[in-house]
Structure 1
């Protein structure tokens, strides 16, 4: 017999989930993609970290209004349904279930495996271990989260504290021991188009910043979501942006952008330069803890989406996916997301998977930002424990920033974008079929 999810998550679990979901693989590994796109120039990369942070904070301030007003399990899917209707709400949940969460988990698992292989020696034999490690860490994390949601929240809190250690050490000793290489000059390398490249590097930084909205997926399991959810999102994002700027300047303080563009893990390179081989390996181990925290965060929140879809029987296998164990964990939904993640991980492509998922999810983020304005007009009397400051300027900034990233990705990477669109649109005939069958 299925049980209802219990309200047993507090503010500490919420803010650690925000920070844990956001600070993970991106800040340690995405500088390589960023400085490759800029052709080894640092300036536009740092600008992108700043712009990406501002867009994310504007988005967080905007979407938090909806999160607090509609504190139900399901997160963005529920917001879209409330604003645009059940069909579009289902499409949001479908995209998150079959693309965003498993694709992101796969990307994080792949980069975890690559870092672990390099830590073991980075020989050709060790690189063959990437796929088994990636699949293994997905399955292990899924198992841990089936123990129960409160246990998953506990893991998240510990992993978040653990991940701050390499960040703090690199920031402090990077500035102390670095030689102050150029931070903003040149802006881009030769033959680089600044506008289209900005779109590319923003996709990379937004992946590093992503995860903030997904804490809304556990709103229905929070003790006091109206009070704790806005503080967790806004406070967590402000902390993340400050840390990201500091550590990326510290990277450049130690190694030029042209060198960071040539290695899989810029953070490990910088750590080795600062602390030597042994110290670098210890920092790399800390980075693995950070990446594990991100992986756990996504597997904590992601399965709550297909679980929410089972309420109306709109997703195939609803009876199976709706089952909850004694630990208040939707265990079958967790295994669904984990299996899909393993399939995506077979590509072994970190940047391709992350670009695919960020494009897809930002389409719906923009719809959520627009929805705040729509909801203000349609339901002015709706109880809003939190209202976005600077309305409507902040929502407009979020909308324009997100629209630029989505449109630029459509133009510059049409195949990746088309793949995301096709996977998402498949949800429409499934919705039609399941709706007719249920009625």
Structure 2
């Protein structure tokens, strides 16, 4: 059975916000502070990252408007480049997105464990148990239906946004004395510090590109996809800059460098121990929102791959009542659990995840040049188009390539492993073509 559109613009706007605001903003500023080493680099990187993200959001808004389809992130590569290249990029992103969810689940567990579990369970084992439990809860929820998941998502997202706004406003009730004022300087030159700071920032800003995977779920996608992306990213940038200012005002750059549970520490400084616990619960709710939206989004890529005959039919099978890909959802959750079992370090995982993302996102954005030529008939029909073309996508693409180079320079072993994974995807594709023996749709 094919997917029936059931989500409106508000649903999609909430999805955009939740795809971006996971738990990264409540932990990654610490990583950025370590890599930046100075206040100017720290805030400059966040502002620059926001501008680049806006360029990317506008680019993907036009891509979604010109080519609205289920599993759009795969379909765009297949249409503009080649199905083999589409599979090579997207099979890696399946792993990358699963790793992203695992990272967020781990951060969430670090927040909630001190509130719920005794001291003996505060170590790595307790964190993994809580992270795995969170994923399984949302897995069960996903089977209730796409519309139920969307309504849950709307509630969790509004709750999350409200929590950030409250934290940002609360800092003005506190004086300017910091917990820690001495910051460790960055190692290396200023350009490297700036580039490595962007690794964590782009990870924190990422996720909105998955919005185009809902092309088949959205009512009037050519109008609602670009508007939802624009509104959602605007809200995200405003919230991110506000909460980073709040962190700095309360903790200072040195305090940012020394803790990953930033929101809980900041709330503890402002409201005391009770505030810290309340903030930890709020952050855990944010985790549930991020896991939920990814469990909704990623199986849609499997659907698109199955339509092309690369994955078996079972990945395309949709429950007619709930509109849930039951096997696809199960497969994605299993990928998350595998990553969680083998995850040792948030910082180490970040380099692998971002290398995948920077390459995949920059090449996806590059497709807008091809897509414009192949869909000229849509020009002048009222669909969204980028005003400052080609400047906007070029800024986004070059910025992500800059980050890719910095990752390679800082950790060539991680980059080499990631390139090997890309190559493995190409081999898997052609093995699938051979096994299907001509069952793939002709171009």
TM bucket (normalised to shorter chain) is over 0.9
Partners of 1:7 and 1:220 within 8 A in 2: yes
Q: 1:202 to 1:188 in 2, by over 3 A?
A: farther
Aligned to 2:60: 63
Cα gap change, 1:357 to 1:165, in 2 (>3 Å)? same
Q: Which piece of structure 1 moves more, 173-182 or 123-132? A: 173-182
Note if 1:320 corresponds to 2:318.
Answer: no
Q: Match of 2:328? A: 333
User: Would you say the 8 A contact 1:105–1:299 is kept in 2?
Assistant: no
Counterpart for residue 23 of structure 1:
21
1:211 maps to what in 2? 207
CA contact (8 A) 2:7 2:147 kept: yes
Q: 1:242 to 1:432 in 2, by over 3 A?
A: same
Could you tell me how far apart the structure 1 residues matched to 2:182 and 2:133 are?
Answer: 42
Structure 2 CA distance for aligned equivalents of residues 33 and 389 of structure 1: 34
1:180 is displaced (CA, Å) by 7.1
Counterpart check, 1:354 vs 2:350: yes
Kindly indicate whether residue 365 of structure 2 is the aligned counterpart of residue 369 of structure 1. yes
Distance 1:10 1:220 in 2: 12
Counterpart selection for 1:259 from 232, 238, 255:
255
Give the drift of 1:342: 0.7
Q: CA deviation at 1:181?
A: 6.4
State the partner residue of 1:237.
233
Return the offset for 1:300: 0.9
Deviations 1:258-314 (A, max 9, x none): 112111211111110011110221122111111211111111101111122111221
Secondary structure in 1 aligned to 2:318? coil
Q: Which of 382, 387, 390 is the matching residue for 2:388?
A: 390
Q: Kindly indicate whether residue 75 of structure 2 is the aligned counterpart of residue 78 of structure 1.
A: yes
Q: Within 5 Å, which residues of 2 pair with 1:40-51? A: 41-51=38-48
Deviation track 1:170-197 (CA, whole Å, cap 9, x = no partner) reads 1111133141769xx9998264422112
1:278 is aligned, of 256, 274, 277, to 274
* Separation in 2, partners of 1:285, 1:204: 24
Question: In structure 2, do the counterparts of structure 1 residues 181 and 131 end up closer, same or farther at CA, with 3 Å as the change threshold?
Answer: closer
What's 2:441 paired with? none
Unaligned residue ranges in structure 2 (runs of 5+): 439-443
Gaps of 5+ in 1: none
- Report the 3-state secondary structure (helix = DSSP H, G, I; strand = E; otherwise coil) of the residue aligned with 1:202: helix
Query: What's the CA shift for 1:219?
Result: 1.2
RMSD: 2.0
Farther-moved stretch of structure 1 (297-306 vs 412-421): 412-421
Classify 1:417/1:119 alpha carbon distance in 2 versus 1 (closer, same or farther; 3 Å): farther
Match of 1:419 in 2: 417
- Quote how far apart the aligned CAs of 1:122 are: 7.4
Residue correspondence of structure 1 range 134-213 to structure 2 within 5 A: 134-179=131-176, 189=185, 191-213=187-209
Shift of 1:334: 0.6
- Tell me the secondary structure at the aligned position of residue 106 of structure 1: helix
CA change 1:50–1:101 in 2 (3 A) is same
State how far apart, in whole Å, the 1-side matches of 2:88 and 2:427 are. 10
Distance (whole Å) between structure 1 residues aligned to residue 265 and residue 40 of structure 2:
20
The 8 Å contact of residues 306 and 321 in structure 1, kept in 2 or not, is answered as: yes
Q: Do the aligned partners of 2:214 and 2:300 also contact (CA within 8 Å) in 1?
A: yes
- Which of 425, 432, 439 is matched with 2:430 structurally? 432
1:145–1:299 contact (8 Å) kept in structure 2: yes
Q: Distance in 1 between matches of 2:50 and 2:107?
A: 22
Change in 2 beyond 3 A, CA 1:304/1:121: same
TM-score by length of 1: 0.93
Q: Which residue of 2 aligns with 1:408?
A: 406
Question: What's the offset of the Cα at 1:422?
Answer: 2.0
1:126 is matched with 122
Shift of 1:382: 4.1
Cα deviation for residue 379 of structure 1 reads 4.2
